[in-house]
Each structure stands twice: as C-alpha cells, then as structure tokens.
Amino acid sequence: MKKTKIIATLGPASSSKEMIKQLHEAGVDIVRLNMSHGDHDFARSIIENVRAVSKNIAILLDTKGPEIRTKDVLEPVTFNEGALVTLTYGSQYCTQDTIYITYQNLPNEVQVGTTIILDDGAIELRVEEVRPDSLLCSVIEGGILKGKKTLNVPNVNIKLPSVSQEDFDDISFAIEQEVDFIAASFIRSQEDVLAIRKLLEEKQSKIQIISKIESRQGVENLTEIIEVSDGIMVARGDLGVEMRAEEVPIIQKKIVEACNLHAKPVIVATQMLESMITAPRPTRAETSDVANAILDGTDAIMLSAESAVGKYPLKAVQTMVRIAEYIEQEREEYQNKLFHRSSSRITDAICRSSFYMARDLHADFIVAPTMSGYTARNLAKFRPPVHILATTPDERCARQLNLLYGVVPIVSEHKGDRRSFIDNSVGELVDRGYLKPEHLIIITAGMHVGKSGSTNLLEVHKVGELLQTNKD
C-alpha cells in the first residue's frame, strides 16, 4: 500500500459516481475542484457524487486567486509567429484578431517590450503598442489557444487584489459545502493567507488552507507563508512561467524541504503525467518527474487535466500508484537527512524516536490516536518505514489526514479519558482488520485531553498482549 497521497482533479472525464468510485479504489485520496473551470452548480453536483461514493474522500476546492485569464473560445484559435493580436478586457469570445481577458487595468501596468505568456507558456506575446484600453501585441511563439487559459506577465508585479470577490464567493461556497481544504491561488505573502483565515474563523470553519506557491513573491516569502498555512502546493505551471524554467526544479526541492522541516504537508502539482491527457502511457521523463517528487519528500502528487478532461483518468491514477509504490520501496537509500535534524521540541523527540523504534524493531505499524491531527502530522514529517494508523473521532480531521504521507486515517469512537481512547483505538483497529494479535506496534500520542500539540507518549506493544492486559 502506497504512502504518497494522490490528488485527482475532477471534471467532465471523471465526475460520475462510477468513475469517482474507480479512481478512489485505484488509490485517489483527495479530489480537487478547480473553480477556474467550473461554477458552483457543477462543483455542488461533483461534491454530492463524491460523498455518495465515500465519506472518507477529502475534497479540495481550488480558488481562482488573483489571476488573469483569457475568455472562452468558440473553437480553438491558432496564432502564428509574427502575427499581430489585440488584448483587451471583455467577455466576448476570443478570435485571431482579439484576445479578451479578465483584467481591465493591464494596459496601465505594462509597457512596450513587455513579455506576456498565455496558457503556461504555450503562447508568447510581446507588447508593441500600449493603448488606453488595449494592448497591440506580436506573436513571438505561436500556438493554439483554448478557452479560459492563464495569462502571466513575468517580472511585472500586477496589482491584483490578493483575494477577489469571486474568491470570497468560492470560499463561502466551500464553507457551505463543508469541504476539507481550500487551495488558495497565487499566495504572495502571509497577509494573503491571513485574509482567508479571517473569513474562515468568522464562519467558525475548520477548512484547512493550502497555499499555492506560483510566483517569485511567493518563493521569496516562503517561510512566512508556510508558518500561517496548513499546507503548501508547488504549482509548477504558473511558477514555471513567472520564473525561468531551469529554476523550477531547485525551487521545488527547496519548498518541499522547508515544508518537511515545518511539519506541513506539501503537494507537487502540474504536468506530472501531461502526456496521458491523450496517451495511455506516460513518457519516461514524466515517470522520473513523479519519482523525483517522491524522493524529494512530497506528501502528495496531483493530477490536473490528466484526470479532469483526459482520455485516461483511471490509467493516470494507476500509473501514479505504481510509481509511488516502487519508489517508496527504494527510497530508504535516499532518505533525506533533513527529516532527522536535532530539535529541542518534545514532540519532535517523541516522533523521531518512533521512527527509529519502528525501523530497528521491525514494527508493523505506528498507531497515533489524535484529536486534531497534530501527532500524525509530526510523525509523517519523519517518513517512518511503516504506515501510521491515525485514529480520530472527528470525521473532517480524518479526511484532512488523507493529505499526509504514510498516514491511514480511521474514524474511531472516543470514550472516557485519553488512556481509554488509546486502548479503545487499538481494539477498534483489531476489530476492523487493520491489526492482528501478533503485530508489533509503536503507540504515539498526547496525554493531555483536548490540548493540541502535546505529543508526549511513546509505547511499544504486541497487540495481543496489550489487549489481554486491558482485559485483566
């Protein structure tokens, strides 16, 4: 069973109950709804289908963020190198003569010679003339433009609001639908995250915020963003447009390392198996890309168009699972030393010790009863060699634990004091078939009921002996 988590974006190719069930059974832990390509009615119908399939599938809603996009097309439009095209704000369909965009103030923020990138680099334009309400551009790199594609202006700080009214509407919708995660697009500073956090707190929502790093500002302010976020997504599409392509692999590694050190889950996303949108098999380069993300220490890998609109959504998931399972078997040789840097925190000491005990004693599982997910999150940081069985009485907490590397969340009833919760958790895990009497387990938990961040217990047991002791 894989430890790396898989996120699949749902769309026309994958929104039916039957397909969602197949994807989940194949290994999908979290489904993503991209609000840049759907409205609330479509998202609501998908959420209903997901919950009809399983209440254990976590749901991530991806906001538009402060982005600029082209408007729709009647049919794909081809732009040839050297052609001239006008960019202007409007809601009409794009043509070969005019590309309509979602941002009205762009002519006031660029100058002649500015480079404009469409669709994550598929088309490159250069501004030739700035007009009061439009831009005349020449096509430097031609390509085919489909509807609602991204527009990036590298090295220009576009003055878009950090959270738009559309974003607030989408977040309110997410709260109403009780989704598990919000992926906040184009996060540039901690203030962007805190603006979303304030709205969630006002609504008393426990939705977790996954901050998407996809600009130079986001990279420069990474540490402060990680500190106020619940997780990070390395959004390589826009990141690779905003920065030089050759910078992205190193930036990815640095972001993953920083998240590991802060015990915050991290997702590597965009173009992981891009060729599988139309082909039944990935390229060797894509296979290596997925493998290297896992070796870097990512918690989750994500499918975008491959599962949303591709011809082979199920095969794409199955391919990711095969890569993950194989690489995880081999990754001991490449275990990153950063996971085991010294720390004076009690939680780190307990969780690091759990890793070494599980490894040296050849334990079968680590059991982590948790109320908030704190213990499981800090255990996952050390990438133990066995799965972490995280029991919690909170269904949403269990779904959110789906994002953590190597964590198997199980909803478990909480009765009595903390000791009773721990013992009952082991009993339930046996009853449900996760544990057997002959299994050797490491138990890690916090003994202060209701207090998050108090992991201070470490025990080693044979399951059968523990059950017998509890009976006696």
Residues recognised as catalytic: 32, 69, 212, 270
DSSP assignments along 113-171, one per residue: T-EEEEGGGTEEEEEEEE-SSEEEEEEEE-EEE-SS-EEE-TT------SS-HHHHHHH
Residue 348 sits at the vertex; the CA angle it makes with 346 and 351, to the nearest 5 degrees, is: 110
Query: Within 13 A of 58's CA, how many CA atoms are on the CB side?
Result: 28
Residues 355, 334: Cα–Cα separation, whole Å:
16
User: CB of 99 within 8 A of CB of 86?
Assistant: yes
Residues 212, 67: Cα–Cα separation, whole Å:
12
Token code pair at residue 350 = 């307990």
* 3-class secondary structure, 336: coil
**Edge to edge, what strands does the sheet with 365-367 contain?**
407-411, 388-392, 365-367, 440-446, 455-462
* 3-class secondary structure, 81: coil
Phi, psi of 388 (to 5 degrees): -100, 115
* Alpha-carbon separation of residue 371 from 36, 192, 197, 247, 390 (angstroms): 34, 28, 21, 40, 10
